[in-house]
Amino acid sequence: MGANCKHCRGGFFDGRFGQDVECVNGVLIDIDEAHEGGPDGTIYPVAPCHPMWARQMADPDAETWKNDSIERLGAWRSAAKAPDTGEGE
């Protein structure tokens, strides 16, 4: 199961954000946590490929932008379960 992101150096960051943290659909998360799902409502930081990355740098608490990490992880999880139909993009 690859969570490779071509924007984020293959999804890994040389441990820059934590040992097992990688980019999962634009979200920075420990890959095991991504599979299992964290506690409900947990917000994760967005990854460098996320359109709000620059905003996050300026406003880490996401008070002036929307952190959609929950939606993104949900979409990633359902895509991971479904057979790969080669979704575009």
Among 31, 49, 70, 80, binds Zn ion (CB under 5 A): 49
Task: Name the CA dihedral angle for 49, 51, 57, 58, rounded to a multiple of 10 degrees.
Answer: 170
Span near Zn ion by CB under 5 A; candidates 17-25, 32-40, 58-66, 70-78: 17-25
Would you count residue 8 as binding Zn ion (CB under 5 A)? yes
Strand spans (E) along 1-89: 21-24, 27-30
Would you count residue 24 as binding Zn ion (CB under 5 A)? no
| CA atoms of 38 and 28, how far apart (whole Å) | 13
Nearer to Zn ion, 21 or 23 (CB): 23
Q: Three-state DSSP class for 57?
A: helix
Binding site for Zn ion (CB under 5 A): 5, 7-8, 23, 47, 49
